[in-house]
Amino acid sequence: MTTLSIDADISAGTDLLGKHVSDLQSGVIIGDSQIVGTLKYLSDYTGFSGDPNEQKGNYIALHCTSSETVDSLSVEVINGTVGHPVTLDGDGIAVLKIADKVRQKIRFAAHKDDQTVTKTFDLSGLTLESEV
């Protein structure tokens, strides 16, 4: 089965729902099972959601690829506000709201036929900037 590769290497000019990667984060490094770095605080991320409660906070942008062709890739913030995995678009980029770096985790999954491969990341090493 396939292996998943997760990184934060997203071009600085890529439109991430109206923001750029430099607006969201700095120094993000993806380890085997942990993500570290700084997530900046945004108070006006209207492109992220139509819900005003989801338009402020800390967000991370990650890129997911698989070692072979799969039926779909998905991502979920465990203990997040959505409550279920979301299928990624063809670019494999996910923008996720992180509110609790201790309770929340990020899980990516590759689905092919009747098999699923997952990769889960601990977020306790992140620094979540506060509202200024």
**The pair of three-digit structure tokens given for residue 15, joined into one six-digit string:** 């439109």
Q: Report pLDDT for 83.
A: 85
Mean pLDDT, residues 68-89 taken together: 94
Residue tagged 């092919």 (tokens): 112
Distances (CA, A) of 48 to 25, 29, 55, 57, 69: 15, 23, 6, 11, 28
**Averaged pLDDT, 21-37:** 96
Q: What is the mean pLDDT of residues 33-61?
A: 96
**Apex CA 35: angle with CA 15 and CA 97, to 5°?**
50
Whether 35 contacts 125, CB under 8 Å: yes
**Over pLDDT 70: what percentage of the chain?**
99
Report the distance separating Cα 36 and Cα 47, nearest Å: 25
Average pLDDT taken over every residue of the chain:
95
pLDDT tops 80 at residue 132: no
Instruction: List the chain domain ranges.
Output: 4-128
By C-alpha distance, which of 17, 33, 14 is closest to 97?
17
Output the six-digit token pair for 2: 């396939």
Q: Return d(Cα 28, Cα 40) in angstroms, integer.
A: 11
- Residue with the bigger pLDDT between 132 and 88: it is 88
Q: 4-128, what's its fold?
A: Immunoglobulin-like (2.60.40)
pTM above 0.75, yes or no: yes
The C-alpha angle with vertex 98 and arms to 93 and 101, in degrees rounded to 5, equals 125
| 8 A C-beta contact, residue 122 and residue 78 | no
pLDDT over threshold 70, residue 58:
yes
